[in-house]
Chains A and B, each alone.
Chain A
Amino acid sequence: MEVKTIYKYPDSLEKKVTHYCPGCHHGIIHKLIAELIDEMNLLEKTIIVWPIGCSVLGYEYFKVDSCVAAHGRAPAMATGIKRANPENFVLSYQGDGDLASIGMAEIVHAAARGEKITVVFINNTNYGMTGGQMAPTTLIGQKTTTSPYGRDPKVSGYPIKVAELLSNLEGAAYIARAAVNKPTRITQAKKFLKKAFNAQLKEIGFSLVEFLSACPVQWHMTPLKALERIENELIPYYPLGEFKVKEGVE
């Protein structure tokens, strides 16, 4: 009888228990990245730049070369790595505080330059690591430790739609938004991520996949309720799909 493997632990992941909270989506997203590194045979050429935020320890979970950038500066550091050795496959992994707040200039300019790097952008609508403060992506009305009465646009302005914003830049080759709150969505997310990887491997330009990601602990919700929040509150404001697909990306 022929045995076909349809599900296994990715080779590029270390066999380690992660530090992430129950119901957090960093784990699923790590696994998608690891599966693609395996499938696309990238382990020996990948360099991941980790952010400041919950995933600062991400380098412990992958068998690839890694570093940790200063808060928000991952796209600049990734630029320096990719320009030094263009044959490497360079990923930057960033949260919303990291990417859309302190590091907004770095991400916009990396995209505008068409840096041949791929960014995995985790939008959990708050600052997980520091205790659930307001982020640039926090929804109107959302309560956080620093918007205790709900985010008020008169005080704090409006949540930033990163995928839409960056897709306006010429240097962006592939920009998409995904979620992993349902199995079908996970399949779609992996397809998006693969295209983003390809945009870099084919040297077309900058690529980014934004993930709407659950943060049950800081949202004060059960993991299941957090999945529902993604469906009912996040997706209506942050629609899923592809925002920019340059010719040649597949």
Chain B
Amino acid sequence: MSERVFMKGAEALAEAVIRSGCRFFYGYPITPQNETPEYFARKLPLVGGLYLQAESEVAAINMVYGTACAGKRVFTSTSSPGFSLMQEGISYIACSNVPVVVANVVRGGPGLGGISPAQSDYFQATKGGGHGDYKVVVIAPSSVQEIVDLVPKAFEIADKYRTVVELLLDGVLGQMMEAVEFNYDIDPNSLPEKPWALTGAKGRKKNTIVSFNLDPEKLEQMNLELKKKYDEIEKNEKMWEEYKLIDAEYIFVAYGTVGRIIKTVVDEEREKGIKVGLFRPITLWPFPYEELRKFVDQAKFFINVEMSLGQMLEDTRLSILDRKPTFFYGRTGGVVPTTVEIKEFFEKKMKEVG
């Protein structure tokens, strides 16, 4: 049954997690995502779930790890400095092949940085973060409705591949209020059994979950198994949006909140008769390289806009193999770029390239 409600992004995120059949949340407060844990604290006890405030992000992610090992859907959310602390746990979880969904509501960094929205954790999210040869599925919605739609998908991917899925948001998405529709409500008891989970060796052989192998040949084998899984994910799980690209000569590449801002830029430039469009990756890993590459021939140039000093830009350039010029416009430290400044930059580049 679907219902339309007016909700803040941070709360819609929590509601979507609960409706995805997840009943366990562990976390530690940090701005700008506190409305998410606060929502869980209010709502989870009412549906027989658990909100537990950990003593640190380090502890929180290890509680998440434990509950995932025990075979339950589990979630945590935090913001940049907190996410850095969770990297230890995420590396262990990735190696242990247990499904976990986490959210990083990115704020300006490095260090303590600030509390305003940013996209400067792109490298950390997509290129590692913790130690070792592992990958995390990174999903970046750009509206509150998209958060609502992608959260159950995140849990599905996590369960299907027994892997870590990260929702990469920014403070704008957390604070924005929009009318959203929920058309799902999954009963946690209806989820498939996890025969590998630690539940007590009753009527079966013991289960063991470890993230190490002291024999280098065997550890290499473990890494190759992980790689196989990541190859499968790359093949099956890429998501992206193409906006007015069919005849576009100028192609914006942007994700999350910026993706949304660029749609306005595209619409306004189109009104002037300029053939411009937007390619918006929704999964940042796996990145839709080939899908973006398809537009190389028709494009005069690509223009990347981010709330960082240019991180996704590297993946854009890998996609198009530098066969066309790429330009970059970014604001960082928690500044959100405006349509006016983006248009100004774009029009200047258009004149330069011709």
Contacts and interface: CB of A to CB of B under 8 A. Distances in A.
Given A47-B198, A67-B96, A68-B212, A79 B89 contact: no
Contact of A45 (B50, B52, B202): B202
Contacts of A106: 55, 58-59, 62
A249 interface: no
Contacts of A70: 62, 88-89, 92
A65 B207 contact: yes
A109 interface: yes
Contacts of A63: 201, 206
A80 B201 contact: no
Interface residues of B, number: 39
A109 B210 contact: no
Contact of B67 (A59, A68, A73, A84): A84
B68 interface: yes
B92 A65 contact: no
Contacts of B338: none
Contact of B200 (A46, A59, A67, A105): A46
Given A66-B206, A68-B212, A43 B63 contact: no
B34 to A, nearest CB: 20
Contacts of B67: 80-81, 83-84
Interface in A73-106: 73, 76-85, 87-89, 105-106
Interface string B59-70: 110111111111
Nearest to A79: B63
Nearest to B63: A80
Contact of B70 (A44, A73, A84): A84
A56 interface: yes
Residue from B69, B92, B207 having most chain A Cβ neighbours under 10 A: B69
B211 interface: yes
Contacts of A87: 200
B190 interface: no
Nearest to A112: B55
B316 to A, nearest CB: 35
B92 to A, nearest CB: 5
Residue from A45, A85, A108 having most chain B Cβ neighbours under 10 A: A85
Contacts of B211: 68
Nearest to B96: A67
B92 A76 contact: no
Given A65-B199, A65-B201, A73-B58, A80 B69 contact: yes
Contact of B52 (A44, A73, A83): A83
A77 B70 CA distance: 10
Interface string A125-154: 000000000000000000000000000000
B209 A67 contact: yes
Nearest to B68: A80
B188 to A, nearest CB: 11
B66 A76 contact: yes
B226 interface: no
A204 B226 CA distance: 41
A63 B208 CA distance: 10
A88 B202 CA distance: 11
B155 interface: no
B264 interface: no
B17 interface: no
A81 B70 contact: yes
7 contacts: A59-B208, A66-B206, A70-B92, A76-B58, A77-B66, A84-B24, A85-B71
Interface of B: 24, 26, 50, 52, 54-56, 58-60, 62-72, 74, 88-89, 92, 96, 198-203, 206-212
**Nearest 10 A/B pairs, CB to CB:** A80-B66, A84-B70, A76-B62, A80-B63, A44-B202, A77-B66, A80-B67, A73-B62, A109-B55, A67-B209
Given A65-B199, A81-B67, 4 more contacts: A44-B203, A81-B69, A85-B71, A85-B200
